[in-house]
Chain A
Amino acid sequence: MIYGAALGSGGIRGIAHLSFLEKIIEKNNIELEILTGSSAGALASALYSLNPDSKYIKETFFSVMKYYNNQLTKLMKSLSSGVASYSKLITSTGIEENNILYNIYKDLFGRKTFSDTKKKLGIVSYSVEYREEIKMTEGYIIDAVMASSNVPGAFIPHRIGGMNLLDGGVLDEVPVDFCRELGAEYVFANNISPKKVKSSFSNGYDYFSYVDDRKIGLLTEIQMKNADKAYTFSYETDWFSFNKLDDIYNASDKFYGGDNI
């Protein structure tokens, strides 16, 4: 049996994928051969494909995140500044330029390519002009992960291959079907962005974002149904709450370490 894992988008909540990978492998006594990911899931699946050792990845990732702590705090403030950030959305194609993520990914991936991975890797992104999902299985990993984690509105689109690319989560939060396309016979799916209902909205942007979130939720439900085993980790926080890295990791370790797997 060829086992694969499809890892979902969710910003900083993506740290939960590390516990997820460690526990499903340990508890099911299996090897994962194929990994697909979107956004934060792309980052986790790329790291794991290059070096399938969850503990090593965790240490490396935490140390890089701590090194960039001040810049991440600035980014967090900029993205949560309400009206000011909304005005930027109208005057530019994104609130920020994504330099900080580029620096982090450069430290993590350097010039590694898909052909350097020990596991088969697939990363999804979204083309603004072609208005469709882009599936990446070759080239420099940093480019694919940058494109895949390029949250629309928050960052200006990332240009590669003659396209302006955005976060894979635009259309495919948890790329289960892609994992099968790459050859997985049994797919574990991990969704780290469950959607909550709400009934009041602070402004039009909040309302619009909520409606859109419902759509993403429906698209993700379809993918999750196509998985052989689907998990949903719930930790309510904004995707850019970088200061909650430790809390999220601990909560996920408890969640996946319990009877949930």
Chain B
Amino acid sequence: MILCAAIILVAWFSTSWIGPQSGREAFLIGMLWVVLTVAFELLAGHYAFGNSWEKLIADYNLFRGRIWLLVFVATLLAPLWAFWQKHAA
């Protein structure tokens, strides 16, 4: 949850600096972040740190109490939310 808050905070401060021109671009930024994060976590986790695929996938199981998916939801939506907030203000 702390990480989610940190992501939202970083997105809030950085979205205007990144400079998306539309909500679609802001959403694409969030999607880019999620894709890069998943790719990094799975590839580095398996090949660099030697974790098994099962262990890596288990972190995504919401029904087992793993809330790692929330980080991705926050990462995906934070730039869009920040963009809307800045343009609504």
A pairs with B: no
Q: Please give the residue numbers on chain B whose beta carbons come within 8 Å of chain A beta carbons, in ascending order.
A: none
A-side residues, CB < 8 A to B, are: none
